[in-house]
């Protein structure tokens, strides 16, 4: 039996970074204080930019 692709939201497109974010982080509850702080800071930096831009710079921001 062939494996089926997971159902993804249209906004994640086909960019591997976006797909990984969608599949592993989007909609997943976060309870770690450091990870929550990172998400808050990244979200603040995102104002006016596409989220993919922030994801691409994420490692450098850390």
Q: Where are the domains of the chain?
A: 32-62
The pLDDT of residue 62 is 79
Q: Which residues contact 17 (CB under 8 A, 6 or more apart)?
A: 52, 55, 56
Q: Report the alpha-carbon angle 12-16-19, nearest 5.
A: 35
Tens place of pLDDT for every residue, the chain, 62 residues? 556 777 899 988 999 999 999 999 999 999 999 999 999 999 998 888 999 999 999 988 87
Side-chain half-sphere exposure of 51, counting CA atoms within 13 A: 13
């Amino acid at each position: 039996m062939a494996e089926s692709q997971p159902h993804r939201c249209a906004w994640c497109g086909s960019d591997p970074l976006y797909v990984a974010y969608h599949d592993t982080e989007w909609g997943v509850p976060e309870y770690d204080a450091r990870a929550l702080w990172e998400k808050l800071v990244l979200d603040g930096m995102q104002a006016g930019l596409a989220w993919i831009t922030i994801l691409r710079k994420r490692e450098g921001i850390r």
